[in-house]
């Protein structure tokens, strides 16, 4: 059943550029990038750390590959891993002071740290381009294949995002590590009492999540060709929070539901113009009050629960 | 016999209140030790000081010859001093077996890379076997696949003990293990505590209000009153100690 579903989704993903008009392929690329961003964000939320600096970490990846490409002439294929590593390094620098905080304190402190990084991009015109950001970020090439057009870029993104999501899935589902992270959120005192080094796992989640946010940032930078600090500000962060709140974070698939539903709402609500943020705010409040578990809580329980990760226990 | 756990003039103050005052205590390897006292005597605070949940204001705690006071609770647990909680403590979303697997993480030693590549399978299977053995030992094996939050109260308390056991402790500290249990559950827990020591050689420290349990299972008892050590000895000595009887007078508890 699950295999069948996977095959159908994979087939649809591969056929998608030929099923929709060109403009929608552009949206699908952004959709995939957002999927990776939301899924990487969920990793931190499993330990209970709701960070407000995650899109800034995405920005670190975007700026890293843009700088490498423009100053050093690095190709996309080197810039992409560089982006992940750069984001992970900045995440590591931010997380150790952040570990002293929890809950609401963490929320606010992560915002402050994120803004600090973002304001560096605003303030330093050289090399970050200041408020106008960076332009002419080259599109990837592979031999004679040019990824300028939306469809080839879509396939490039699809492969990279699928690989990253597979890794995140493994961390969540096949491993003890993912469960230890969730255990910290469920009962931190109990986790400590059985020897869980809480801060070690919180840092691991934050840095690993940051790495994949950086990959998403690189994919975004090379698609848009231009980035500026506003791409990674608190507004974007709030959208990310809405995605995962709408979808839910308890299961690996929650953020997927959130990104899918909110992308559809986002694209169909364009006629509302300046009233759109009101709609999104209303959706956020609705979910927080009436469906705190997110859309995933509507799924049949047997789809989302599991006995043991590696060996499924029936029960 | 040597002391496996030793506190040296441990004191804990909260503002103006001295919850534990100059507590010096030695627990021998393989012993079942009771820690009793009227409400507010500082029993649970002592537990928190030994297990690392609190750092003592002054004084030191030793495990074997290693000082553990001031260290993180997780480090102390890794050394082998593991505590349970008064409340039902469990990971409610996980199955009973998964609760124990998480408690086995110290022995799984899985890296992020192994997690992604799935190369820790053999280790996982081995840990699952050990976890099932512990569940059988505790009598929770038929609930292995049940979500922990759905267990009956007594079993929830037992699951906390099972999780503590899964870490392979040298010293197990049980905080009111029979509180709120019915007589049948109490009897099962008392039997379990004895078997933990007899069959697994685990040193047990027990905080308990239930005198019948304490007198029935403990070999030595330390009595606290207002944070100070009031008396120490065998259950019989303690039961006949006039200071102990006086400390308990006026409270509902009677020394059986």
User: How far is the alpha carbon of A196 from chain B, nearest alpha carbon, in Å?
Assistant: 6
Task: Write out chain A residues lying below 8 Å of B114, CB-based.
Answer: 175
Judged by CB atoms closer than 8 Å, whether chains meet at A179 and B101 is answered as yes
Measured distance CA(A298)–CA(A25) in Å, rounded: 29
Residues of chain A numbered 248-267 and touching chain B (CB < 8 Å): 250
**Confidence check: pLDDT of A103 > 60:** yes
Q: Which residue of A has its CA nearest to B143?
A: A315
The pLDDT of residue A157? 97
CA distances (Å), B87 to each of A197, A221, A289, B94, B181, in order? 22, 51, 29, 18, 12
Judged by CB atoms closer than 8 Å, whether chains meet at B124 and A186 is answered as no
The pLDDT of residue A288? 93
Give the 3-state secondary structure of chain A.
CHHHHHHHHHHHHHHHHHHCCHHHHHHHHHHHHHHHHHHHHHHHHCCCCCCCCHHHHHHHHHHHHHHHHHHCCCCHHHHHHHHHHHHHHHHHHHHHHHCCCCHHHHHHHHHHHHHHHHHHHHHCHHHHCHHHCECCCCCCEECCEECCCHHHHHHHHHHHHHHHHHHHHHHHHHCHHHHHHHHHHHCHHHHHHCCCCHHHHHHHHHHHHHHHHHHHHHHHHHHHCCECHHHHCHHHHHHHHHHHHHHCCCCCCHHHHHHHHHHHHHHHCHHHHHHHHHHHHHHHHHHHHHCCCCHHHHCCHHHHCCCCCCCCCCC
pLDDT tens track for B145-177: 999 999 998 899 999 999 999 999 999 999 998
The pLDDT of residue A308? 38
CB nearest to B110's CB, from A167, A176, A196: A176
The pLDDT of residue A162? 97
Task: Write out chain B residues lying below 8 Å of A178, CB-based.
Answer: 115
Please provide the average confidence, as pLDDT, over all residues in chain B: 89
| pLDDT band of A315, cuts 50, 70, 90 | very low
pLDDT tens track for A212-249: 999 999 999 999 999 999 999 999 999 999 999 999 99
Measured distance CA(A260)–CA(A30) in Å, rounded: 11
pLDDT tens track for A276-311: 889 999 999 999 999 999 999 888 776 655 543 433
CA distances (Å), B45 to each of A128, B10, B53, B114, B177, in order? 54, 11, 9, 39, 16
| pLDDT band of A77, cuts 50, 70, 90 | very high
CA count, 13 A, side-chain hemisphere, A105: 6
The pLDDT of residue B121? 75
Q: Is A193 on the interface with B (CB under 8 A)?
A: yes
pLDDT tens track for A143-161: 888 898 899 999 999 999 9
Per domain, the residue ranges of chain A are 26-232, 236-315
Range name among A40-54, A177-191, B10-24, B240-254 with the lowest pLDDT average: B240-254
Task: Write out chain A residues lying below 8 Å of B151, CB-based.
Answer: none
State the Cα torsion A74-A80-A86-A89 to the nearest 10°.
Answer: -140
Mutate to test the interface with A, among B48, B52, B68, B77 (most CBs of A within 10 A): B77
Q: Which residue of B has its CA nearest to A200?
A: B74
Judged by CB atoms closer than 8 Å, whether chains meet at B102 and A170 is answered as no
pLDDT tens track for B99-143: 999 999 888 877 788 878 877 777 888 899 999 999 998 889 999
Please count the residue pairs, one from chain A and one from chain B, whose beta carbons lie less than 8 angstroms apart. Answer: 129
Measured distance CA(B84)–CA(A192) in Å, rounded: 11
**Confidence check: pLDDT of A274 > 60:** yes
Q: Say if residue A274 is exposed, middle or buried (CB neighbours under 10 Å; 0-12, 13-18, 19+).
A: exposed
Judged by CB atoms closer than 8 Å, whether chains meet at B74 and A196 is answered as yes
The pLDDT of residue B254? 52
Instruction: Tell me what ipTM this predicted complex has.
Output: 0.90
| pLDDT band of A134, cuts 50, 70, 90 | very high
Per domain, the residue ranges of chain B are 3-90+156-248, 94-150
User: How far is the alpha carbon of A176 from chain B, nearest alpha carbon, in Å?
Assistant: 7
Which residue in the block uniquely carries the two structure tokens 């931010």?
A94
CB nearest to B128's CB, from A174, A187, A311: A311
Architecture of domain B3-90+156-248: 3-Layer(aba) Sandwich (3.40)
Q: Which residue of A has its CA nearest to B84?
A: A193
Residue B153 DSSP SS3: helix
Q: Which residue of B has its CA nearest to A175?
A: B115
Judged by CB atoms closer than 8 Å, whether chains meet at B110 and A208 is answered as no
CB nearest to B105's CB, from A167, A196, A315: A196
């Amino acid at each position: 059943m699950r295999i069948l579903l996977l095959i159908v989704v994979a087939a649809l993903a591969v056929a998608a550029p030929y099923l929709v008009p060109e403009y929608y392929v552009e949206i699908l690329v952004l959709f995939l990038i957002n999927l990776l961003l939301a899924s990487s964000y969920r990793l931190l939320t499993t330990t209970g750390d709701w960070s407000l600096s995650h899109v800034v970490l995405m920005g670190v990846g975007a700026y890293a590959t843009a700088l490498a490409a423009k100053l050093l002439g690095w190709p996309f294929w080197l810039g992409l891993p560089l982006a992940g590593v750069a984001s992970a390094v900045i995440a590591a620098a931010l997380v150790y002071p952040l570990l002293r905080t929890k809950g609401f304190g963490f929320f606010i402190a992560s915002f402050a740290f994120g803004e600090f990084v973002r304001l560096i991009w605003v303030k330093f015109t050289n090399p970050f381009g200041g408020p106008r950001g960076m332009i002419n970020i080259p599109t990837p090439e592979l031999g004679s294949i040019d990824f300028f057009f939306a469809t080839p870029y879509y396939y490039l993104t699809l492969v990279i995002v699928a690989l990253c999501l597979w890794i995140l899935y493994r961390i969540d589902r096949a491993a003890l590590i993912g469960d230890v992270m969730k255990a910290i959120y469920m009962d931190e005192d109990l986790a400590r009492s059985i020897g869980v080094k809480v801060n070690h796992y919180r840092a691991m989640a934050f840095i690993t999540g940051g790495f994949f946010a950086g990959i998403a940032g690189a994919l975004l930078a090379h698609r848009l060709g231009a980035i500026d600090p506003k791409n990674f500000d608190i507004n974007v962060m709030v959208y990310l929070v809405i995605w995962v709140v709408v979808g839910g974070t308890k299961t690996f698939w929650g953020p997927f539901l959130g990104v899918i539903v909110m992308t559809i709402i986002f694209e169909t609500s364009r006629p509302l113009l300046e009233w759109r943020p009101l709609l999104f705010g209303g959706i956020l409040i609705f979910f927080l009050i009436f469906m705190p578990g997110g859309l995933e809580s509507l799924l049949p329980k047997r789809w989302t629960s599991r006995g043991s990760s590696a060996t499924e226990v029936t029960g | 016999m040597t002391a496996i756990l030793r506190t040296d003039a441990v004191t804990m103050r909260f503002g103006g209140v001295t919850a534990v005052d100059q507590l010096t205590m030695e627990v021998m390897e393989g012993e079942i030790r009771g820690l009793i006292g009227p409400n507010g005597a500082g029993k649970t605070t002592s537990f928190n000081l030994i297990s690392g949940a609190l750092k003592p204001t002054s004084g030191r705690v030793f495990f074997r010859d290693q000082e553990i006071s001031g260290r993180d609770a997780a480090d102390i647990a890794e050394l082998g001093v593991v505590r349970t909680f008064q409340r039902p403590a469990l990971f409610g979303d996980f199955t009973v077996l998964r609760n124990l697997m998480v408690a086995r993480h110290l022995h799984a030693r899985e890296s992020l890379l192994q997690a992604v590549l799935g190369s820790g399978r053999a280790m996982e299977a081995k840990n699952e076997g050990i976890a099932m053995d512990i569940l059988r030992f505790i009598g929770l094996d038929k609930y292995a696949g049940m979500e922990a939050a759905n267990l009956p109260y007594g079993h929830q308390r037992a699951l906390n003990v099972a999780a503590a056991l899964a870490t392979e402790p040298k010293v197990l500290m049980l905080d009111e293990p029979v509180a709120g249990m019915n007589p049948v559950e109490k009897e099962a827990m008392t039997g379990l505590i004895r078997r933990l020591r007899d069959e697994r050689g685990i040193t047990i420290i027990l905080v308990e209000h239930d005198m019948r349990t304490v007198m029935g299972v403990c070999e030595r008892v330390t009595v606290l009153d207002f944070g100070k050590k009031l008396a120490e000895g065998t259950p019989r000595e303690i039961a006949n100690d006039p200071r102990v009887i006086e400390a308990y007078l006026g409270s509902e508890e009677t020394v059986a």
